[in-house]
Amino acid sequence: MQMPEPDQAVLDRRADICRDLRNLVAADCVIDSIEGRRAYDADGLSAYRQLPLAVVLPETVEQIAAVMKYCHGEGIKVVPRGSGTSLSGGALPLADAVLIGLGKFNRILDIDYANRCVVAQPGVTNLAITHAVQADGFYYAPDPSSQIACSVGGNVAENSGGVHCLKYGLTTNNLLGIELVTIEGEILRLGGKHLDAGDYDLMGVMTGSEGLLGIVSEVTLRILQKPATQRALLVGFDDTGSAAKAVGDVIGAGIIPAGMEMMDGLAINAAEDFVNAGYPRAAAALLIIELDGPEVEVNTLIDRVAKVMDDAGASSLKISNSEEERNLFWAGRKSAFPAVGRISPDYLCMDGTIPRRRLPDMMVRMSSLSQKYGLRVANVFHAGDGNLHPLILFDANQPGELQRAEDFGADILRACVEMGGVLTGEHGVGVEKRDLMGIQFTEDDMKQQQRLKCAFDADHLLNPGKVFPHLHRCAELGRLHVHKGKMPFPELPRF
């Protein structure tokens, strides 16, 4: 993975920089030793590791601002880090970058039921938000699988989703306000307990910006009343085509479940071997459909969904009649990744999105790619919104298998875009998919996005080497095409 060339001048000044940083935060909040920095050398994309120049763990927003301002003044790169659970390398350090960790920002500041929101520091975990309000019957809806560990600041940076975003949306649809620190050390508040931006939706563009535009120092999140009833269906199909069609039929019937997940034969059997949830082993595809909401609504709709499944040719169907049963239906799906980890020394978890109706085509393509690369693939999908998580099985100890797995993954993402979808549904681009961006966007598309970056970070100090494959200097991006041989206002500076 090619990362930007480290600035030798910065590397040479490492000791001085650490000393300067110790003037800005408590001395023990600067981690300098190799052993200390090693704990931060990778995120969830653990195949890639890099010791950062130094790790800083600020405790107040003023300290974040001071460190950012210092780095900006000195031309030192910055890599922000929440919990380091990113699966795309969003928090992968650079050798010449200061890594700013938000782990000490771990307090919930305000639980406001009257306004149905929670104000929290960015290092609070996603699940901790729900835990803080669940005794009063509330919860925070976006539920990425890593929610016991991932931070809400990281959720904003990645615009995290989860199983239930089919009905409840992603982080961006549940975020009311943020405080952010710019690379120049400015502290800005966007949004709040009120709705809508009233001017440019900068909070909307910060969400999913993968640490490239600013550091989130506080979040205001919408909380919802827990649904009265949750029930699930576990449905087996003899072929993935029928399962995929059944998913579309549910939507076509005017029903939006809380979640619709699909697993293929390999994933089903790996899960059964691991947790024994009672999945139909012979099924080519398994759907787990969850409905939530008021009791009468769920009980009525579950029968309608069951009928849709029957009409679609389901080979088996179970409906949960208790919380235990519902949780058991989910047990296999929730353990899918570790289950697959049992049947293979290593796996690559991919993330792409396709239009739902192309699922059968994608399964055919995956099958042929699996043969092409000689590697197995187990499939777990957020079928309701077409977000795939193919798990490519390989053995890193076998020469060339990691490369083949990555090539397989890249071909899957190419297929996603070819079928009308996108490279990443929820894991982010990071470094993992950076070099594939050209499959989905033209140079002009990417240049326009980078011009936005110039408005926030003209010196390209925040999280360089992520998301965009080619760096264009802001001065170059600001140049307008010469029209009819004349450049308008040639004497005016443009960024």
Partner 1 sequence: MIKVAGLDDVAAAIADAIEAKQHLAVRGMGTKAALGRDTSYDAILDVSGLSGIVDYQPDELILTVRGGTPMHEVEAVLAKANQMLAFEVPDLHKLLNSNSAGTIGGVLATNASGPRRLTAGAARDYLLGFDAISGRGERFKSGGKVMKNVTGYDLSKLICGSYGTLAVFDEVTLKTLPKPETNISLLFACDDSDAAVARIAAIFASPHEPNAAAILPRAIAAKAGIDISATMVAVIRLEGIDVSVADRAAHLLASFERGLEIDNDASTSLWQAIRDVELLEDVAGDIWKLSCAPASAPSIIAALSDQFDLAYFADWAGGLLWLAGPSGGEFGAALRAALAANGSGYAQLIRDQGNSKAVIAPFQPLPAAHYALHKRVKAAFDPMSVLNFGRMHDGI
Backbone angles phi, psi at 326, to 5 degrees: -60, -45
- Give the x-and-dash track for 164-203 against partner 1 (CB under 8 A): -xx--xx-xx---x----x---x-xx-xxxxxxxxxxxxx
In the complex, the smallest distance separating the C-beta of residue 161 from partner 1, rounded to whole angstroms, is 6
Instruction: With contacts defined by CB under 8 A, name the span among 51-59, 254-262, 315-323, 326-334 that binds partner 1.
Output: 254-262
Q: Does 331 bind partner 1 (CB under 8 A)?
A: no
DSSP structural state of residue 6: P
- Give the x-and-dash track for 344-383 against partner 1 (CB under 8 A): ---------xxxxx------------------------x-
433: tokens are 């998919």
Among 74, 449, 469, 472, binds partner 1 (CB under 8 A): 449
Q: Does 429 bind partner 1 (CB under 8 A)?
A: yes
- Give the x-and-dash track for 213-252 against partner 1 (CB under 8 A): x-----------xxxx-------------------xx-xx
**Please, which residues bridge with residue 110 across strands?**
119
d(CA 470, CA 458): 15
Q: Does 469 bind partner 1 (CB under 8 A)?
A: no
d(CA 303, CA 310): 11
Instruction: Look at residue 415 and give its three-state secondary structure.
Output: helix
In the complex, the smallest distance separating the C-beta of residue 41 from partner 1, rounded to whole angstroms, is 24
Backbone angles phi, psi at 172, to 5 degrees: -60, -25
Q: Are 157 and 466 in contact (CB under 8 A)?
A: no
Q: Are 407 and 392 in contact (CB under 8 A)?
A: no
Task: Pick the closer one to partner 1 by CB: 300 or 368.
Answer: 300
d(CA 48, CA 431): 9
Residue ranges in 116-135 that form contacts with partner 1 under rule CB under 8 A: 116
Instruction: With contacts defined by CB under 8 A, name the span among 7-15, 233-241, 327-335, 420-428 that binds partner 1.
Output: 420-428
Among 161, 127, 88, CA closest to 434: 88
Residue ranges in 259-318 that form contacts with partner 1 under rule CB under 8 A: 293-297, 300-301
In the complex, the smallest distance separating the C-beta of residue 22 from partner 1, rounded to whole angstroms, is 28
Which amino acid does the sequence have at 199?
A: D
Q: Does 41 bind partner 1 (CB under 8 A)?
A: no
In the complex, the smallest distance separating the C-beta of residue 101 from partner 1, rounded to whole angstroms, is 22
Burial 374-399 (b: 16+ CB within 10 A, else e): ebebbbbbbbbbbbbbbbbbbeeeee
Q: Are 212 and 463 in contact (CB under 8 A)?
A: yes
Among 158, 179, 290, 406, binds partner 1 (CB under 8 A): 158
Q: Does 410 bind partner 1 (CB under 8 A)?
A: no
In the complex, the smallest distance separating the C-beta of residue 250 from partner 1, rounded to whole angstroms, is 9
